[in-house]
Structure 1
Amino acid sequence: MRVLMFAYACDPYRGSESAAGWGLSRAVASFADAVVLHGPDHRDNMRRWSAHHPEDPVQYVTVDEPSWCGVANRSRIGRFLSYVAWMRRAGRVAVNLHRERPFDAVHHATYATYWLPSPVRALEAPSVWGPVGGAVSTPLRLWSALGWRGLPTEILDLVAVRVASWLPATRRTWRAADVRLLLNPETRRRLSSPSRETTEILNHVLFLEHETLPRAPRRGELLYLSPLEFRKGPRLALLALARAPGNLRLRIVGDGPERARLEALSRRLGLAEQVTFEGWVELDALPRLYAQAEAVVFTGLREEGGASLAEAMGCGAPVVVLAHGGAATVASCTTDPSRVRLVEPGSLNQTIDRLAGAMSGWPDDAVFAQGGHLDRASALRRLESAFEAAIGRAGAQGRRDGARGGLRDRSASSRSTRVARRPAGASGDETEN
């Protein structure tokens, strides 16, 4: 099987979406001959990887953004426009590659959102769209946790994605995909009824690669690892710690615009001696942090998946998870439910109390089996099955179209020639400038 992947974010040396894209590319490469189109931010790291792994059969192809993107990428809206422009360019590169040597399937792997069209439509090949996200929003009863800075952004995002989801090109992507992989149930609910038929929930963070270290003796220290942004719900973690029984400590790894306000909140709550803010650490330090933590806390309010959650589970750490969005989906993929505590969101006060209770009372580490507890093997089998299903459905559709075409040909032979559409701007090079 020969597969072309659109993975704007794909990097062996970075985390978050880039790590998910990398994991997906390695997963697809386990059962297919993969060619991966990625964004220019990862060019140097991909060259570094290729230099150290010359035997790697996967072909990673850099597709450049337009020159104006360097300035545009300084703002959130600019980064969005750059990605849209990149998808158009990647689509043209894909058409050229497909013309030179056809692919059996095409896959939009990273930054696939239900409210944007996909370049998979550019190729006449069986398509796997996703894992697709973009539908998770903060529970209404927890809007107060966003604060006055976060609430306007929440409302603006809700309106913008709903409007974009009605674009004709977006709706054509919904209909055209042979298989639709979704990050979470929230995304399935946003699709039209016919488009829900060939969908499967399969979160892309399940394919992250992990290093597992032996569990260190428990020390009563919780770990919170996340960008310090309102949508990640860091205030919930501090408010819950203040109500948790015992003398728990919280180690906060990450940085962001909310850090100063969170430090002030920890002092007001009397937690200055229990909470440490460490900023970001190197990726290779994370397995050690996961091994040392009594549990890792995840309070994301708009989590499509949760790369850090998957990493923690893959490294064997117990986790406390706000059961909302993609985080609930990922946490449900555990092979050891005793190491997962799902906290159902309620009112702000109820949610804080539930988190506080879940943070404490973990058993001794001897109770836990050593090793990760994320079911990656099952995810790999389901991913391969999705590609097989896409090829099968496209083949069946082609046979039906051919049968209908044969009937038309017998009744109107003057319409027997198909004219192929010529894509604009396809060069066949490995990069497009």
Structure 2
Amino acid sequence: MLRVLTLSTLFPDATRPTFGVFVERQVQALAARDGVAVRVVAPVGLPPWPLPRAARHRALAALPRHETWHGVDVTRPRFAAIPGTAGRFHAGRLAAALRPVLDAIWQEAPFDVIDASFFFPDGPAAVELGRRYGVPVSIKARGADVHLWGRARATARQVRDAAAAADGLLAVSAAMRDDMAAIGIDPARVRVHHTGVDATRFRPCDRDDAKAALGVTGPLVVSVGALIPRKGHDVVIAALTQLPGVTLAIVGEGPEQARLASLARRLGVADRVRWAGRVAHDALPGWLAAADVMALASASEGLANAWVEALACGTPLVVTDAGGAREVVTSAAAGRIAARAPAAFATAIGDLLASPPAPAAVCAAAARFSWAANAATLEAHLRALVDLHQPIRG
């Protein structure tokens, strides 16, 4: 039996049901494999003192300390995330909070390996705890965890040191591995570990029926992602001015919504922008399958799950050359890679609307992404780390 402790500050909860849902799916797929047992520790970072207008923090503080979440055993310890410190103390505070929690888990059921599914602050804490229990540690890079924390002055050294000390490293794409190399991590030690997609949920359907269910007629473009500057929703909104008759549905929530709505009004396209807000992951296929194009103008990515999910629904992409885009958009049927500019996005979207690829050809681009393949690769990776570690533990 391979006993895995998955450590991830990026994991869904009742207040954020889509937050890190891809980590949840990965854990479920791994736990479903014969001879593997998985326990999840999903720490919750909270300020050590009350903050004004902190309803979000109060909701997080009220989460259960332990629960079964969609069939997975999840422990949710709290750690102090001190505001105004640029994350400098996050990893140390996290490790300190986890010691008594993992001590109790270890006494109940020792684990063979720690799988840190987000690089910071999870990775540095996992390395310290791996030494405490004499087990190997794997750390996975997903995107912002390296792009942000791996370059920030206060935390970059911690990211590099954790990478050097970890027994194994994973990256969501080959491009992400290159980004890790750019900050001083040895790329030869990094294994590419692609995401998965559930093809029983994300699959093509009658597009007209799907649009009707959403109250949409005519061409539909969907953009999926948090309403933050990095996702580039403003680029797609501006592109709409050159795409008459096209409706844009933006799926996501975040602090940029008021600014984006103001932009849409100023450009005269507000009547063609739908704000879907936060959509449950199980409801996302309805939006993606209804769309003629999924467009996302990200400044940076690892490998966005929404890209693969759209393809599995038979919906081609228009995306920037960010992260693993070229590992996903591998054919003309899969879509277009465009410059991060409204005119470029309008041209690429218009091209796909004028000559839509066959849904079956689009789906083919997603065929190699599955949770079964993801879990098999992860299990093999973790077992290899445990096997290599045995002489040290013995």
TM-score range, shorter chain: 0.7 to 0.9
Match of 1:199 in 2: 190
1:206 is paired with a residue of what secondary structure? coil
Larger RCO: 1 or 2 (CA < 8 Å, sep 6+): 1
Higher relative helix content: 1
Contact 2:18 2:281 in 1 (8 A): no
Match of 1:18 in 2: 20
| TM-score computed with the length of structure 2 as normaliser | 0.74
Aligned length, in residue pairs: 354
2:20 is paired with a residue of what secondary structure? helix
1:80 & 1:210 partners in 2: Cα distance? 42
Match of 2:75 in 1: 62
* Superposed displacement of residue 272, structure 1: 3.3
* Superposed displacement of residue 122, structure 1: 1.5
Do the aligned partners of residues 43 and 166 (structure 1) sit closer, same or farther apart at CA in structure 2, a change above 3 Å counting? same
Structural mapping, 1:235-384, within 5 Å: 235-244=234-243, 247-326=245-324, 328=325, 332-333=327-328, 337-345=331-339, 351-362=341-352, 363-364=355-356, 366-368=358-360, 373=366, 375-376=369-370, 377-384=372-379
* Superposed displacement of residue 108, structure 1: 0.7
Residue identity matched to 1:122: L
Residue identity matched to 2:126: P
Contact 2:142 2:302 in 1 (8 A): no
1:303 is paired with a residue of what secondary structure? coil
Q: Mind listing any 5+ residue stretches in structure 2 that lack a counterpart?
A: 45-59, 212-217
Q: Larger Cα Rg: Structure 1 or Structure 2?
A: 1
* Superposed displacement of residue 164, structure 1: 1.7
Contact 1:136 1:304 in 2 (8 A): no
Contact 1:64 1:86 in 2 (8 A): no
Worse-matched range after superposition: 94-103 or 3-12: 94-103
* Superposed displacement of residue 80, structure 1: 8.6
Deviations 1:183-214 (A, max 9, x none): 31344224535x332211225x5367862352
Do the aligned partners of residues 6 and 64 (structure 1) sit closer, same or farther apart at CA in structure 2, a change above 3 Å counting? same
Do the aligned partners of residues 394 and 11 (structure 1) sit closer, same or farther apart at CA in structure 2, a change above 3 Å counting? same
2:268 is paired with a residue of what secondary structure? coil
| TM-score computed with the length of structure 1 as normaliser | 0.68
1:313 & 1:43 partners in 2: Cα distance? 35
2:37 & 2:359 partners in 1: Cα distance? 42
Contact 2:296 2:318 in 1 (8 A): yes
Q: Mind listing any 5+ residue stretches in structure 1 that lack a counterpart?
A: 51-55, 138-156, 403-433
Do the aligned partners of residues 88 and 352 (structure 1) sit closer, same or farther apart at CA in structure 2, a change above 3 Å counting? same
Q: CA RMSD in A?
A: 3.7
Structure 1 position 39 matched with structure 2 position 52: no
Match of 1:166 in 2: 157
Deviations 1:401-420 (A, max 9, x none): x8xxxxxxxxxxxxxxxxxx
Do the aligned partners of residues 318 and 132 (structure 1) sit closer, same or farther apart at CA in structure 2, a change above 3 Å counting? closer
Structure 1 position 102 matched with structure 2 position 110: yes
Structure 1 position 118 matched with structure 2 position 112: no
1:82 & 1:27 partners in 2: Cα distance? 29
Match of 2:168 in 1: 179
1:190 & 1:163 partners in 2: Cα distance? 18
* Superposed displacement of residue 62, structure 1: 1.6
